[in-house]
Structure 1
Amino acid sequence: MNQELSNFPNTQHSLDPAVLESLRVMLGDDGAIFAKIIQCYLEESPQLIEDISYSINTKNAQMLEQTAHKLKSSSASMGAMVIYNLCLQLENMGESGNLEGSLELFSRLAQDYEVVEIILREKIKENYNREQA
């Protein structure tokens, strides 16, 4: 296991490798596009996570619903199913207007994103090495 990941519990569940492999196959095994899609996710997700935090802290249920929906969708396409499920719960909270427990869910989301980010950066490196071989 990657040394950086050893501090995180259940890292094998944070990202479904079959989803990423399916994405790679769908792209015709084009490593450059595959890496670019992952990079876009890594660039856009921190702002969405920040927006989710802001919406919880300001009790803006509509913003929470919309932002969690965006992160949920992009996370599913990366195979980040824990994030997907947490965002689904946050989205539902925003839709219902009941934000009770949202801080706990957000904390779990932020922790899991750290794990997913490390894994996806490693995937980009692996992809680069594969392209260079």
Structure 2
Amino acid sequence: MWRDRVGRAQLSTLSAEFDWQQLQQLAGGDAAFEAELLAMFLEDAKNSLQQLEAAIATQNARTIEDVAHSLRGASANVGASTIAEIALELENTARAGETHNARQLVQEIGIHYQKIQSQLRT
């Protein structure tokens, strides 16, 4: 089980990044399904980050908004609350047609993504 590999200190560190009760509720308490949901989330978030980088390079506010919206929903569903909050800010900024701080927000999302990924893969 993935939680057996993650120590208490690591879970404590991730508590700021992740709402574990949300994930457990979504998975119905099924640890194998939790692991599957996390794996899918990590892969989808990775793809979203790549799409956001491409959209920022072309200053495509509409694509930034759409991808940020999808990332926000996926993050909120699995309990990645910090990523969801930043994605909401990115979505709202892009909706207003502003892309000047999009790269910084995507970098912040990337940092939180890496924290989650590195803690879960140890």
Normalising by structure 2, we get a TM-score of 0.80
- Specify which of 16, 19, 32 is matched with residue 19 of structure 2: 16
Instruction: Note the residue ranges of structure 2 that are not aligned, 5 or more in a row.
Output: 1-8
- Per-residue deviation, residues 54-107 of structure 1 (Å, max 9, x unmatched): 111210001001100111101001111110011101111221111121121111
Instruction: State how far apart, in whole Å, the 2-side matches of 1:109 and 1:120 are.
Output: 17
Instruction: State how far apart, in whole Å, the 1-side matches of 2:104 and 2:46 are.
Output: 18
The aligned length equals 113
Contact 2:72–2:83 at 8 Å: present in 1 too?
yes
Contact 1:38–1:120 at 8 Å: present in 2 too?
no
The Cα of 1:32 is off from its aligned counterpart by 2.8
Instruction: State how far apart, in whole Å, the 2-side matches of 1:86 and 1:51 are.
Output: 16
Contact 2:24–2:30 at 8 Å: present in 1 too?
no
2:86 aligned with 1:83: no
Contact 2:24–2:34 at 8 Å: present in 1 too?
no
Contact 1:38–1:78 at 8 Å: present in 2 too?
yes
Instruction: Note the residue ranges of structure 1 that are not aligned, 5 or more in a row.
Output: 123-133
User: For residue 98 of structure 1, what is the aligned residue in structure 2?
Assistant: 98
Instruction: State how far apart, in whole Å, the 2-side matches of 1:78 and 1:119 are.
Output: 16
Normalising by structure 1, we get a TM-score of 0.74
Rg bigger for which structure?
Answer: 1
1:31 to 1:18, Cα distance in 2 relative to 1, 3 A: closer
Q: Percent of counterpart pairs with the same letter?
A: 27
The CA RMSD over aligned residues, in Å, is 2.0
Instruction: State how far apart, in whole Å, the 2-side matches of 1:31 and 1:113 are.
Output: 21
Instruction: State how far apart, in whole Å, the 1-side matches of 2:15 and 2:36 are.
Output: 23
